[in-house]
Amino acid sequence: MTNRPSSFLAVVRRLPTWWRLVAIRVVLLLASCTDATAPQTNPDECANDRGHQLGIGQVVAGSGDPRSLCIEVRQKGEYVLIPFVASPRDTLLQADIVLSGSGLGPVVPSSSRVASRADVQAGASDGLATEEDRAAFDAGLRDVEAELFRRLGGPGPHLRSQLAPASVTIPAEGSTVEINVASRCDATNIRHGRVAAVSQRAIVLADTGNPTVGFSELDYDGFARDFDDFVFPTLSEAFGSPTDIDENGRVILFFTRAVNELTPPGGTGVIAGYFWGGDVFPRHSDGGLGGCAASNEGEILYLAIPDPGEEIGSTPISAETLRRVALSTIGHELQHLINTGRRLHVNGASTVEEKWLNEGLSFMAEELLFYAASGLSAGQNLGVEEIRSTPQVQDAFVRFAESNLGRLNLYLQGTHFSSPMGSDLLPTRGAAWSFLRYVADRDGSPDENLLRALANSTDVGLANLQQVIGSDPLEWMRDWSIAIYTDDLVPPSDPRFDQPSWNHRQLIASLRVDGLYPLRTVALGDGESTLTLPAGGSVYAYFGAEAGSRIRVRAILVEPSADVDVWLSLVRIR
């Protein structure tokens, strides 16, 4: 299809619907006659082609002209049309969807009500920052890392050693270490950390300025032990070992009030923890890398501390709350540390991973901790019965998996403006995790093989995915968007449209006040509908069809672009 002048588009869009259809048909006829490079489609192909005959659960995707579908209806039924925007750009666009031949008006199932975020079950305030605030904070850190790579990065790899030499002196328990928590190369904010515990893989520091009521020595010993026995082996196997630029063979876990102080005066909730990429740069230019004066030249995770008496901020936060989220926070941030450190010092990448994929990998890290803690594994289509099977599984789900489903819940309510590659924070994060879970299941190799390849690449984003899976990732994203609808609803006619690890419909509904799977839907009838779609995302549109009818659907971009296309897929649901 050739690009139409925007002025002509403006005229066409002001016409009545019937005349718009006539104008569109004329344009398509002219395009097929005058553009030898355009897909040659018959504008009345349903009259000459029997089209697809779909059984319940069957899907048409990616055959022939991706912007045109034709089906023959033998029995009255209901269908879901899923337009997918194939584009690497993070943008919203509009497409005219032209449906003809159904013989029915719009059909909307009663369970497709658009839910609001208020429907998500929420407990009492626990002192943690909201998901939105945490996501915004993380996004800011990733932006800072990208800027550091641009300004200070150089040809790699730069690694001196990944194993601590025998001559390195490990700080003794009870001694004090200086840490700069500035998180900006041009700033200084020195804190003193008492060495509370030392293990094979961790050095636990407690800020000497922390409130007196907080974590106990048993807590600090437990964090070190859990890091050694649980977090480190699980995630280093999946993503690769952390770098060791300070040559101590360990990751520093710094529990400091400086994290709590990130909450502005009068603000509510605290960030649970973070990793700052500046720490893996040298303080002074060295070996092709520029210097970051505030760097601690080591692998450090910064973690919040209990403040039940509100000595630091205006929101009390208990030790129990932070114990509950500490390991998931450490696991999430450890992936960022591994990814950034290895890109800079091991793999010789020229930039950090794109935010959506970097965050998706960190949420995959949390899921891997769930499997390790619960004794379950991917590919088991986990639902309510499995999650409630034992106290051990229930606890692991709450600590490491429930938040992923909560973010996916938000994405489902707004697929018309979100995608796995978007920039709208929480919905994008839910979609990115779900898409990576789908990719890992479809890839078929052990999770750690796929994740290690993605975390140890010099490419980023879609290029990284393409290199690892050997296929167009946008096609897999399109298939994932279909599986978002079909999984655990209708028997899949093709494994591409299955999600074998989680029963999302059942679990998300069980976590919601209204008990619904909140996938946002729209209704279609014969005629033209203009839909807003995000790049890398889909809209889910219902329509019905009478027996004996022949249905044709076409998608026409309102503002065509060389790097944007719309791929139509169709699933029969009844």
pLDDT tens digits for range 298-319: 999 999 999 999 999 878 899 9
Residue 166 has pLDDT above 50, yes or no: no
Residue at 68 is within a domain: yes
**Last-in-domain residue among 317, 349, 381:** 349
Q: Which amino acid is at 22?
A: V
pTM score of the predicted model: 0.85
Residue 123 has pLDDT above 50, yes or no: no
Find out whether 251 and 303 touch, Cβ atoms under 8 Å: no
Pairing state between β 565-572 and 59-61: antiparallel
Residue at 269 is within a domain: yes
How far is residue 179's CA from residue 255's CA, in Å, rounded to a whole number? Answer: 11
Instruction: Indicate the number of domains in the chain.
Output: 3
What's the pLDDT score for residue 520?
A: 84
- Closest-CA residue to 95 (of 530, 565, 523): 530
- Closest-CA residue to 516 (of 54, 111, 140, 87): 111
Residue at 27 is within a domain: no
- Closest-CA residue to 67 (of 538, 556, 571, 522): 556
For the chain, report the end-to-end CA distance as a whole number of angstroms: 33
- Beta-carbon contacts of residue 338 (< 8 Å; ≥ 6 apart): 235, 236, 239, 240, 241, 242, 243, 455
Instruction: Return the DSSP state at 33.
Output: H
pLDDT band, very low/low/confident/very high, at 36 (cuts 50, 70, 90): very low
- 361 and 258: one domain? no
278-289: pLDDT as tens digits: 999 999 887 778
- 453 and 544: one domain? no
C-beta atoms surrounding 108 within 10 Å: 16
Residue at 191 is within a domain: yes
Find out whether 84 and 62 touch, Cβ atoms under 8 Å: no
Residue at 12 is within a domain: no
Cα dihedral 82, 87, 89, 95 in deg (nearest 10):
-50
- Per-residue pLDDT, averaged over 164-172, amounts to 68
**Which DSSP string corresponds to 490-519?**
S--SSGGG---SB-HHHHHHHHBSS-----
pLDDT band, very low/low/confident/very high, at 485 (cuts 50, 70, 90): very high
- 259 and 363: one domain? no
- Per-residue pLDDT, averaged over 219-236, amounts to 98
How far is residue 553's CA from residue 416's CA, in Å, rounded to a whole number? Answer: 19
Task: Name the strand (E) or helix (H) holding 553.
Answer: strand 550-557
Pairwise pLDDT comparison (45 vs 66), residue with the higher score: 66
**Last-in-domain residue among 518, 535, 554:** 518
Find out whether 255 and 207 touch, Cβ atoms under 8 Å: yes
- 321 and 225: one domain? yes
Residue at 201 is within a domain: yes
- 167 and 306: one domain? yes
Residue at 25 is within a domain: no
Cis peptide before 157 (omega within 30 of 0): yes
Which tokens in the block code for residue 37? 């490079």
User: If you average pLDDT over every residue of the chain, what do you get?
Assistant: 83
pLDDT band, very low/low/confident/very high, at 521 (cuts 50, 70, 90): confident
- 441 and 541: one domain? no
pLDDT band, very low/low/confident/very high, at 104 (cuts 50, 70, 90): low
- 328 and 432: one domain? no
- Per-residue pLDDT, averaged over 383-405, amounts to 96
- 337 and 358: one domain? no
What's the pLDDT score for residue 51?
A: 60
- 247 and 194: one domain? yes
**pLDDT over 70, % of the chain:** 81
Find out whether 407 and 426 touch, Cβ atoms under 8 Å: yes
- 54 and 187: one domain? no
- 77 and 180: one domain? no
**pLDDT over 90, % of the chain:** 51
**Last-in-domain residue among 321, 349, 377:** 349
Residue at 224 is within a domain: yes
Domain with 288 in it: 128-137+161-349
**Which DSSP string corresponds to 241-264?**
PPP-TTSSSSEEEEE-HHHHTTSP
* Strands (E) located in 278-331: 300-303
- 437 and 543: one domain? no
pLDDT band, very low/low/confident/very high, at 68 (cuts 50, 70, 90): confident
